[in-house]
Amino acid sequence: MVLLALSVLLSLLIGSGHVAFGDVWRGVFHPDRSVEGQLIMQEVRLPRTVAGLLAGAALGLAGAVIQGVTRNPLADPGLLGINAGASTAVVLAISWLGITAADGYIWFGFVGAAVAATLVYGVGSLGREGATPVKLALAGQATSAALLALTTAMLLKDTKTYDRYRFWQVGSLTGREPEVLWQAAPFVGVGVLLALTLGPQLNALALGDDLARGLGQKVGTVRLLSAATVVLLTGAATVVAGPIAFVGLVVPHAVRTVTGADYRWTLPLSMLLAPSLLLVSDVVGRLIARPGELQVGILTAAIGAVPFVLLVRRRKMAEL
């Protein structure tokens, strides 16, 4: 919580323009838009920070849930084809319907993510044993490959669509209107509540399907609820910041070094740590490319890659 508070403070303090600390405080709680520093806080830095909090919390929880329900430590929200479904829907909205405003086509991404995840779960549920982790992973990868091919084909035929799509695809916290944040916040809130109730069920699933059933868990229902939660959280994060990768993958691993395998702790701490990673990455992007900036989707991968390699190596050594 201290780390998250410091990340929020850095996000509010640091930017391309100088803002006095007093204006930071007043710009958040008692803004006077005639003062330049407070106007910057209201129009730029505060929405950007809120976007980082919403998207980070959603991605951290979604990654922890998907790793728990699939029993795959390398899983992230893209495993169920969610990112691929969102990308395809956004391209369709831009190319076929001519929607250019972010608060318009971004909701197509949300619907596309839900449709793709539903398709993956339906395919993975075929057969007597139902939706096993291996079948879900295979169905997700197959769906992602097919949707990626469709998306690429549409982009190659329409350069204007590609120009708009590439800025959305990289992932960013900039330029998010308060209306978009207000629209996404209820989805994040519901997703957070659902995810935080799944801790005991995910602990049971970690023991295997047969033992989980013996403990009274309805495995199919838990997987379906978990998939719906992941879609809700990832779709909301996509609405806010685009399809930012890697956060949902690395953060649960970092949390488990402190909490162990207990999802009752892994879920809430992932919700706190992921926004910290996202906001710190965004601040670093502002600093290293002044007077411009690097988009946060690039920085999360660059900053998280080395710690993730170290975590995986440490786990491998422990197993040996």
Cβ proximity of 194 and 232 under 8 Å: yes
96 phi, psi to nearest 5 deg: -90, -35
- Structural domain containing residue 201: 2-319
What CATH number did the domain enclosing 280 receive? 1.10.3470.10
Structure tokens at 253: 């691993």
Q: In this predicted model, which residue has the larger pLDDT, 251 or 79?
A: 251
pLDDT tens digits for range 17-52: 778 777 888 888 888 887 888 888 888 889 999 999
pLDDT at 319: 47
pLDDT > 60? residue 309: yes
Q: What value does the mean pLDDT take over residues 117-130? A: 79
Distance CA 241, CA 170 (A): 9
Per residue in 208-265, pLDDT (tens digit) is 878 888 878 888 888 889 888 988 898 888 878 887 878 888 899 889 888 888 999 9
User: In this structure, what is the dihedral angle of CA atoms 236, 237, 240, 242, given to the nearest 10 degrees?
Assistant: -120
What are the helix (H) ranges across the chain? Answer: 2-13, 21-29, 36-40, 46-70, 82-95, 102-124, 133-157, 159-169, 178-196, 199-205, 209-214, 219-241, 247-259, 263-288, 296-319
CA-wise closest residue to 183 among 230, 228, 240: 240
pLDDT at 218: 83
Altogether, the residues listed in the chain come to a count of 320
pLDDT of residue 160: 77
Number of domains in the chain: 1
Looking at residue 102, what is its pLDDT? 64
Q: What integer pLDDT is reported at residue 4 of this predicted model?
A: 95
